[in-house]
Structure 1
Amino acid sequence: MLRTFLKSKIHRATVTESNINYVGSLTIDSYLMELSDIKEYEQIQVLNITNGERITTYAISGQRNSGVICANGAASHQIKVGDLVIILSYAQLDEKEIKIFKPNIVMVDKQNKPDITNDAERITVIASRMK
Protein backbone atom coordinates (compact mmCIF):
# COMPACT_ATOMS: atom_id res chain seq x y z
CA MET A 1 0.00 0.00 0.00
CA LEU A 2 1.19 3.50 -0.81
CA ARG A 3 0.55 6.47 1.45
CA THR A 4 0.87 10.13 0.53
CA PHE A 5 3.36 12.21 2.54
CA LEU A 6 4.73 15.73 2.43
CA LYS A 7 7.84 15.67 0.21
CA SER A 8 8.75 19.36 -0.14
CA LYS A 9 7.82 22.60 1.57
CA ILE A 10 8.82 26.22 1.03
CA HIS A 11 7.47 28.00 4.10
CA ARG A 12 6.22 31.61 4.21
CA ALA A 13 7.44 32.76 0.81
CA THR A 14 6.41 36.25 -0.27
CA VAL A 15 4.77 36.56 -3.68
CA THR A 16 6.88 38.96 -5.75
CA GLU A 17 5.05 39.00 -9.08
CA SER A 18 1.77 38.20 -10.79
CA ASN A 19 1.24 37.55 -14.50
CA ILE A 20 -2.37 36.88 -15.46
CA ASN A 21 -1.49 36.51 -19.16
CA TYR A 22 0.89 33.58 -18.65
CA VAL A 23 -0.59 30.14 -19.37
CA GLY A 24 -0.53 29.00 -15.75
CA SER A 25 1.61 27.75 -12.89
CA LEU A 26 3.76 29.27 -10.17
CA THR A 27 7.26 30.50 -10.99
CA ILE A 28 9.70 29.71 -8.17
CA ASP A 29 13.34 30.74 -7.76
CA SER A 30 15.25 27.72 -9.09
CA TYR A 31 17.52 27.71 -6.03
CA LEU A 32 14.51 27.30 -3.73
CA MET A 33 13.24 24.53 -6.01
CA GLU A 34 16.60 22.78 -5.74
CA LEU A 35 16.76 23.08 -1.94
CA SER A 36 13.20 21.84 -1.49
CA ASP A 37 13.46 19.14 -4.19
CA ILE A 38 10.62 20.47 -6.32
CA LYS A 39 11.15 19.66 -10.00
CA GLU A 40 10.03 21.81 -12.92
CA TYR A 41 6.43 20.96 -13.93
CA GLU A 42 5.88 19.02 -10.70
CA GLN A 43 2.41 19.36 -9.21
CA ILE A 44 2.37 21.67 -6.20
CA GLN A 45 -0.18 22.91 -3.74
CA VAL A 46 -0.03 26.58 -2.79
CA LEU A 47 -1.54 27.64 0.54
CA ASN A 48 -2.14 31.37 0.74
CA ILE A 49 -1.54 32.44 4.35
CA THR A 50 -2.82 35.94 3.61
CA ASN A 51 -6.31 35.05 2.34
CA GLY A 52 -6.79 31.34 3.10
CA GLU A 53 -7.01 30.24 -0.55
CA ARG A 54 -5.55 26.88 -1.60
CA ILE A 55 -4.73 26.02 -5.19
CA THR A 56 -3.15 23.15 -7.06
CA THR A 57 -0.88 24.02 -9.97
CA TYR A 58 2.61 23.16 -11.20
CA ALA A 59 6.04 24.67 -10.64
CA ILE A 60 8.18 26.37 -13.24
CA SER A 61 11.75 27.39 -12.67
CA GLY A 62 12.56 31.06 -12.15
CA GLN A 63 15.87 32.89 -12.14
CA ARG A 64 18.27 31.41 -9.58
CA ASN A 65 18.75 33.46 -6.39
CA SER A 66 16.24 36.07 -7.56
CA GLY A 67 13.71 35.31 -4.82
CA VAL A 68 10.97 35.20 -7.47
CA ILE A 69 7.61 33.73 -6.56
CA CYS A 70 5.21 34.60 -9.40
CA ALA A 71 1.55 33.60 -9.68
CA ASN A 72 0.78 32.97 -13.33
CA GLY A 73 -2.50 32.73 -15.24
CA ALA A 74 -5.59 31.80 -13.25
CA ALA A 75 -3.51 31.45 -10.08
CA SER A 76 -3.04 35.22 -10.08
CA HIS A 77 -6.73 35.61 -9.14
CA GLN A 78 -6.12 33.85 -5.80
CA ILE A 79 -2.49 34.84 -5.18
CA LYS A 80 -1.46 38.51 -5.17
CA VAL A 81 1.87 40.32 -4.92
CA GLY A 82 2.83 40.61 -1.25
CA ASP A 83 0.83 37.57 -0.12
CA LEU A 84 2.57 35.03 2.10
CA VAL A 85 2.33 31.46 0.79
CA ILE A 86 3.37 27.93 1.65
CA ILE A 87 4.36 25.79 -1.33
CA LEU A 88 4.01 22.02 -0.94
CA SER A 89 4.56 18.87 -2.95
CA TYR A 90 3.83 15.30 -1.98
CA ALA A 91 5.19 11.81 -2.62
CA GLN A 92 3.63 8.38 -2.42
CA LEU A 93 5.68 6.06 -0.26
CA ASP A 94 5.54 2.37 0.53
CA GLU A 95 5.97 1.04 4.06
CA LYS A 96 9.76 0.64 3.70
CA GLU A 97 10.24 4.18 2.39
CA ILE A 98 8.11 5.65 5.18
CA LYS A 99 10.59 4.47 7.81
CA ILE A 100 13.51 6.44 6.35
CA PHE A 101 11.85 9.32 4.52
CA LYS A 102 12.26 12.95 5.62
CA PRO A 103 10.65 15.88 3.79
CA ASN A 104 12.68 18.81 2.46
CA ILE A 105 11.52 21.88 4.36
CA VAL A 106 12.92 25.28 3.41
CA MET A 107 12.15 28.30 5.55
CA VAL A 108 12.62 31.63 3.80
CA ASP A 109 13.05 35.21 4.95
CA LYS A 110 11.11 38.22 3.65
CA GLN A 111 13.27 38.35 0.51
CA ASN A 112 12.65 34.62 -0.16
CA LYS A 113 16.22 33.70 0.76
CA PRO A 114 16.76 30.42 2.65
CA ASP A 115 16.65 31.03 6.41
CA ILE A 116 18.05 27.98 8.14
CA THR A 117 18.22 29.75 11.50
CA ASN A 118 14.48 29.14 11.96
CA ASP A 119 14.63 25.42 11.20
CA ALA A 120 17.13 23.80 13.56
CA GLU A 121 16.25 20.21 12.62
CA ARG A 122 17.03 20.80 8.95
CA ILE A 123 20.16 22.95 9.25
CA THR A 124 22.56 20.14 8.35
CA VAL A 125 20.49 18.87 5.42
CA ILE A 126 19.66 22.22 3.87
CA ALA A 127 23.08 23.76 4.58
CA SER A 128 24.74 20.91 2.72
CA ARG A 129 22.60 21.70 -0.34
CA MET A 130 23.39 25.42 -0.17
CA LYS A 131 27.01 24.89 -1.25
Structure 2
Amino acid sequence: MLRGKIHRARLTGADLNYEGSIEIDSSLMEAAGIIPFEQVDIWNITNGERFSTYALSAPRGSGTVAVNGAAARRVQPGDEVIITAFGWMSEKQAQHWKPHVVFVDRENRLKPGPHVRRMLATR
Protein backbone atom coordinates (compact mmCIF):
# COMPACT_ATOMS: atom_id res chain seq x y z
CA MET A 1 0.00 0.00 0.00
CA LEU A 2 1.09 3.55 -0.65
CA ARG A 3 2.31 5.02 2.67
CA GLY A 4 3.52 8.41 1.54
CA LYS A 5 3.94 10.54 -1.56
CA ILE A 6 5.58 13.86 -2.41
CA HIS A 7 3.99 15.06 -5.65
CA ARG A 8 5.86 17.13 -8.26
CA ALA A 9 8.97 18.01 -6.30
CA ARG A 10 11.61 19.85 -8.31
CA LEU A 11 15.11 18.38 -8.24
CA THR A 12 17.67 20.78 -6.84
CA GLY A 13 20.73 18.60 -7.46
CA ALA A 14 22.23 15.41 -8.84
CA ASP A 15 25.63 14.22 -7.56
CA LEU A 16 27.03 11.21 -9.41
CA ASN A 17 30.02 10.94 -7.06
CA TYR A 18 28.01 10.61 -3.83
CA GLU A 19 27.39 7.06 -2.59
CA GLY A 20 23.67 6.94 -3.40
CA SER A 21 20.28 8.02 -2.03
CA ILE A 22 17.91 10.92 -2.48
CA GLU A 23 18.25 13.83 -0.08
CA ILE A 24 14.87 15.33 0.81
CA ASP A 25 14.07 18.41 2.89
CA SER A 26 13.18 16.92 6.29
CA SER A 27 9.94 18.93 6.48
CA LEU A 28 8.75 17.19 3.28
CA MET A 29 9.83 13.78 4.58
CA GLU A 30 7.95 14.33 7.82
CA ALA A 31 4.79 15.51 6.03
CA ALA A 32 4.88 12.48 3.72
CA GLY A 33 5.65 10.03 6.53
CA ILE A 34 8.97 9.00 4.96
CA ILE A 35 11.77 8.13 7.38
CA PRO A 36 15.56 8.26 6.86
CA PHE A 37 16.98 5.22 5.06
CA GLU A 38 13.53 4.07 3.93
CA GLN A 39 13.33 2.71 0.38
CA VAL A 40 11.56 5.12 -1.95
CA ASP A 41 10.55 4.97 -5.59
CA ILE A 42 11.28 7.98 -7.77
CA TRP A 43 9.14 8.65 -10.85
CA ASN A 44 10.63 11.34 -13.07
CA ILE A 45 7.76 13.26 -14.66
CA THR A 46 10.14 15.15 -16.94
CA ASN A 47 11.77 12.18 -18.70
CA GLY A 48 9.76 9.10 -17.68
CA GLU A 49 12.57 7.37 -15.74
CA ARG A 50 11.67 5.29 -12.68
CA PHE A 51 14.06 3.98 -10.04
CA SER A 52 14.38 3.05 -6.37
CA THR A 53 16.82 4.35 -3.77
CA TYR A 54 16.73 5.29 -0.09
CA ALA A 55 15.83 8.59 1.55
CA LEU A 56 18.18 10.83 3.53
CA SER A 57 17.11 13.95 5.44
CA ALA A 58 18.25 17.31 4.13
CA PRO A 59 18.03 20.44 6.31
CA ARG A 60 14.48 21.46 7.23
CA GLY A 61 13.17 24.29 5.07
CA SER A 62 16.01 24.01 2.56
CA GLY A 63 13.82 22.79 -0.31
CA THR A 64 16.50 20.24 -1.13
CA VAL A 65 15.52 17.28 -3.30
CA ALA A 66 18.76 15.85 -4.70
CA VAL A 67 19.52 12.46 -6.26
CA ASN A 68 22.93 10.96 -5.54
CA GLY A 69 25.06 8.14 -6.89
CA ALA A 70 24.41 6.14 -10.05
CA ALA A 71 20.77 7.28 -10.21
CA ALA A 72 22.03 10.83 -10.83
CA ARG A 73 22.46 9.72 -14.46
CA ARG A 74 18.66 9.41 -14.68
CA VAL A 75 17.82 12.98 -13.62
CA GLN A 76 18.76 16.60 -14.14
CA PRO A 77 18.38 19.50 -11.70
CA GLY A 78 15.02 21.10 -12.45
CA ASP A 79 13.27 17.81 -13.31
CA GLU A 80 9.90 17.26 -11.64
CA VAL A 81 9.56 13.99 -9.73
CA ILE A 82 7.10 12.02 -7.64
CA ILE A 83 8.61 10.36 -4.56
CA THR A 84 6.70 7.42 -3.06
CA ALA A 85 7.06 5.01 -0.16
CA PHE A 86 5.11 1.77 0.15
CA GLY A 87 4.52 -0.60 3.06
CA TRP A 88 2.86 -3.87 3.94
CA MET A 89 -0.28 -4.05 6.06
CA SER A 90 -3.12 -6.42 6.73
CA GLU A 91 -6.24 -6.33 4.61
CA LYS A 92 -8.12 -5.02 7.65
CA GLN A 93 -5.65 -2.14 8.07
CA ALA A 94 -5.72 -1.43 4.34
CA GLN A 95 -9.50 -0.95 4.35
CA HIS A 96 -9.13 2.16 6.53
CA TRP A 97 -5.73 3.38 5.34
CA LYS A 98 -5.13 6.95 4.18
CA PRO A 99 -1.62 7.65 2.87
CA HIS A 100 0.31 10.86 3.50
CA VAL A 101 0.10 12.74 0.18
CA VAL A 102 1.78 16.14 -0.02
CA PHE A 103 2.04 18.69 -2.79
CA VAL A 104 4.81 21.25 -3.12
CA ASP A 105 5.33 24.53 -4.93
CA ARG A 106 8.19 25.28 -7.38
CA GLU A 107 10.58 25.85 -4.46
CA ASN A 108 9.65 22.52 -2.80
CA ARG A 109 7.68 24.17 -0.01
CA LEU A 110 4.56 22.44 1.26
CA LYS A 111 1.33 23.70 -0.23
CA PRO A 112 -1.20 24.03 2.61
CA GLY A 113 -4.75 22.89 2.16
CA PRO A 114 -7.12 19.95 2.19
CA HIS A 115 -5.11 18.05 -0.43
CA VAL A 116 -2.50 17.30 2.23
CA ARG A 117 -3.94 14.05 3.56
CA ARG A 118 -2.80 12.21 6.67
CA MET A 119 -3.20 8.60 7.57
CA LEU A 120 -5.90 7.75 10.08
CA ALA A 121 -4.95 8.02 13.72
CA THR A 122 -5.93 4.39 14.24
CA ARG A 123 -3.06 2.17 13.20
Please say whether Structure 1 and Structure 2 have the same fold, judged by a TM-score greater than 0.5: yes
Tell me the amino acid that sits aligned with residue 122 of structure 1: V
Q: Distance in 2 between matches of 1:67 and 1:121?
A: 20
For the residue of structure 2 that corresponds to 1:9, the secondary structure is strand
* 1:8-19 pair list within 5 angstroms: 8-19=4-15
- Give the share of equivalent positions with the same residue, in percent: 43
Task: Give me the whole-angstrom Cα distance separating, in 1, the residues matched to 2:81 and 2:37.
Answer: 19
Equivalence for 1:89: 85
Aligned to 2:68: 72
Runs of 4 or more above 3 Å deviation = none
Query: 2:27 corresponds to which letter in structure 1?
Result: Y
User: Deviation at 1:113?
Assistant: 0.3
Deviations 1:4-32 (A, max 9, x none): x1110000000001111100010000110
- Give the Å deviation of 1:121: 4.3
| Aligned-pair Cα RMSD in Å | 1.4
Task: Structure 1: give runs of 5+ residues left out of the alignment.
Answer: 127-131
The answer for the alignment partner of 1:31 in structure 2 is: 27
**Is contact 2:102–2:115 with CA below 8 Å preserved after alignment?**
no
Give the aligned length: 119
Matches within 5 A, 1:38-117: 38-117=34-113
Gaps of 5+ in 2: none
Q: Which has the higher helix share?
A: 1
Q: Distance in 1 between matches of 2:66 and 2:77?
A: 8
Name the residue aligned to 2:116.
122
The amino acid of 1:115's aligned partner reads: K
